[in-house]
Amino acid sequence: MAINLEVPKKHRALIDQAHQVAMNMLRPISRKYDIAEHEYPKELDILAAMIDGLEESGASEGAGAAGVRRDGIADDKTVKNGSNMASVTSISEMCWGDVGLMLSFPRQGLGNSAIASVANDEQLERSKGKWASMAITEPAFGSDSAAVSTTAVLDGDEYVINGEKIFVTSGERSDCVVVWATLDKSLGRAAIKSFVVEKGTPGMNVERLEEKLGIRASDTAVITFTDCRVPKENLMGSPEVNVEQGFAGAMATFDNTRPLVAAMAIGCAQASLDLTRELLQQAGVEIDYDKPAYLQSAAAAKFLQLEADWEGARLLTLQAAWMADNRKPNSLEASMAKAKAGRVGSDVTLSCVELCSSIGYSESELLEKWSRDSKILDIFEGTQQIQQLIVARRILGLSSAELK
């Protein structure tokens, strides 16, 4: 099966719409909500209504975090550009506008992507129209998701959840939270499952909101669970603990969400490159694509190198999304895309600040903001170092126990 990494024709209208929204609705309020951290961007309600209308009409083609899903059966004779490709291309455009605001979109949280990835049809129907955040990280661990200590104990027809989660994106604003908890700590990774916990459930409490370096328009919460009872049907995936399968069930979520985060980094970096190109041209720096970099000014040569790195990250991300749409295992490619795009996003945005000197460092333009926003995209959903570790394990054929 051949892969063509040109933008699919059927998605171009959707991408154009996303770009218009980013330019005309997100950019104008970007600085406002960066300064007013924790204030809910009411303008997003209008956009959410527009997205709902597109989804009902079928025009959205599965764009957004909630659209990510692996449907159908693999077919080596046909090529499909489906919801994953629509999601990464449209999300990239929205993050060209503002990453924090995109993360604040109602019903488009990372928890929605997790539900779309692993929920059964009945759970999908129950979650329809809800805004879901995702709670994995705890005070005792960050990168090692297998170290989850939040517990879920079956009691009759309910699971009783106890524990504390930190860095929950949209933790206060969302309607429900996808919580990772262990059914039995002694059984290790295999016992870790994800649960949908509705807001307002007794025992669940948003303790505080974090003040952050970037994506300040997005709320990031600390949430505690104290004897929090949820219906057993809110466990996503199989309730059985399969030691043979290990952590694969829960980790499958990341195969779909990591390309989304890579797409966020690509969009933010593209915004920086676009503006930097304009500012360099205004300063008289010529960027000539027909000349070798070493025959151009240092600024132009640096810019060409940044663009080349950015293009590599973009193509890796499209590949990971395409593989998901075509029912191909993409754990390696998802981690490669996330690692490359996360690193490139930080490098590009910070380098653009340097290239534009005082303009880049001041608040007269959004370059300094984009450099702050991009850093988290190299960290959440699996840090740069963890992605490199996953890639090494996949290439070398080693388990997590064999390569730490």
**Shared-domain flag, residues 270 and 376:** yes
Catalytic: 55?
A: no
In a domain, 169, yes or no: yes
Identity of residue 247: F
pLDDT tens-place string over residues 12-67: 998 999 999 999 999 999 999 999 999 999 999 988 887 777 666 666 555 566 56
**Higher model confidence: residue 252 or residue 291?**
291
The runs of H, that is alpha helices, within 227-297 are 248-282
pLDDT of residue 74: 53
pLDDT higher than threshold 80 for residue 76: no
**Residue 276 structure tokens:** 């930097």
Domain that residue 373 falls in: 248-396
Identity of residue 38: H
- Rounded to whole angstroms, how far apart are CA atoms 222 and 172? 9
Local confidence band at 80 (pLDDT 50, 70, 90 cut-offs): confident
Local confidence band at 258 (pLDDT 50, 70, 90 cut-offs): very high
- Rounded to whole angstroms, how far apart are CA atoms 235 and 182? 11
State the average pLDDT over residues 210-236: 97
State the average pLDDT over residues 358-387: 96
Q: What share of the chain is helix, strand, coil (3-state, %, to 5)?
A: 55, 15, 35
**Shared-domain flag, residues 255 and 188:** no
pLDDT of residue 54: 64
pLDDT tens-place string over residues 88-135: 999 999 999 999 999 999 988 889 888 888 888 899 999 988 999 999
Which residue, 172, 166, 160, is CA-closest to 141? Answer: 166
**Shared-domain flag, residues 83 and 166:** no
β-pair partners for 206: 223
Number of other CB atoms surrounding residue 24 within 10 Å: 10
In a domain, 303, yes or no: yes
Task: Out of 86, 110, 127, pick the residue that ends a domain.
Answer: 127
**Shared-domain flag, residues 23 and 122:** yes
In a domain, 197, yes or no: yes
Return the CATH number at 350.
1.20.140.10
The tally of domains found in the chain comes to: 3
Local confidence band at 77 (pLDDT 50, 70, 90 cut-offs): low
**Radius of gyration of the chain measured on its C-alpha atoms:** 21
Helix 248-282 to helix 367-375 angle (10° resolution) is: 160
**Shared-domain flag, residues 50 and 112:** yes
Contact call for residues 259 and 322 (beta carbons, < 8 A):
no
Task: Out of 127, 153, 177, pick the residue that ends a domain.
Answer: 127
**Shared-domain flag, residues 123 and 138:** no
C-alpha torsion 71→76→77→78, nearest 10: 30
State the average pLDDT over residues 136-150: 88
**Shared-domain flag, residues 269 and 220:** no
Q: Tell me how far CA of residue 363 lies from CA of 268, 350, 352, 387, in angstroms.
A: 17, 14, 14, 33
**Shared-domain flag, residues 112 and 161:** no
pLDDT of residue 55: 65
Contact call for residues 349 and 370 (beta carbons, < 8 A):
yes
**Higher model confidence: residue 194 or residue 68?**
194
Helices then strands, counting H and E runs in the chain, come out as 13, 8
pLDDT of residue 59: 60
**Residue 348 structure tokens:** 């590009």
- Rounded to whole angstroms, how far apart are CA atoms 259 and 379? 14
pLDDT of residue 1: 56
**Higher model confidence: residue 357 or residue 188?**
357
In a domain, 111, yes or no: yes
- Give the contacts of 247 (CB within 8 A, at least 6 positions apart): 145, 146, 189, 190, 192, 400
- Give the contacts of 309 (CB within 8 A, at least 6 positions apart): 344, 347, 348
Which residue, 22, 26, 140, is CA-closest to 90? Answer: 22
Contact call for residues 165 and 138 (beta carbons, < 8 A):
yes
pLDDT tens-place string over residues 306-343: 999 999 999 999 999 999 989 899 999 999 999 999 99
Least confident of 78-92, 240-254, 326-340: 240-254
- pTM assigned to the model: 0.93
State the average pLDDT over residues 375-397: 95
Local confidence band at 71 (pLDDT 50, 70, 90 cut-offs): low
Which position among 55, 164, 368, 381 bears the catalytic label? Answer: 381
Return the CATH number at 111.
1.10.540
Percent of the chain at pLDDT > 70 equals 91
**Shared-domain flag, residues 195 and 308:** no
Mean pLDDT of the chain: 90
In a domain, 402, yes or no: no
Return the CATH number at 231.
2.40.110.10
Which residue, 297, 314, 309, 306, is CA-closest to 263? Answer: 314
Local confidence band at 249 (pLDDT 50, 70, 90 cut-offs): low
In a domain, 43, yes or no: yes
* CA dihedral for 234, 236, 237, 240, sign (positive or negative): negative
pLDDT of residue 120: 87
In angstroms, the first-to-last Cα distance of the chain is: 34
**Higher model confidence: residue 403 or residue 75?**
403
pLDDT of residue 42: 94
Identity of residue 126: R
Least confident of 69-83, 169-183, 288-302, 377-391: 69-83
pLDDT tens-place string over residues 351-364: 999 999 999 999 99
Helix 43-57 to helix 12-21 angle (10° resolution) is: 170
Q: Tell me how far CA of residue 264 lies from CA of 227, 241, 369, in angstroms.
A: 36, 34, 14
Task: Out of 172, 204, 236, pick the residue that ends a domain.
Answer: 236
**Shared-domain flag, residues 221 and 262:** no
**Shared-domain flag, residues 64 and 169:** no
In a domain, 371, yes or no: yes
Contact call for residues 89 and 260 (beta carbons, < 8 A):
no
In a domain, 217, yes or no: yes
Q: What are phi and psi of 178, to 5 degrees?
A: -90, 110
C-alpha torsion 271→273→278→279, nearest 10: 100
pLDDT of residue 82: 84
Local confidence band at 227 (pLDDT 50, 70, 90 cut-offs): very high
pLDDT higher than threshold 60 for residue 139: yes
**Shared-domain flag, residues 337 and 285:** yes
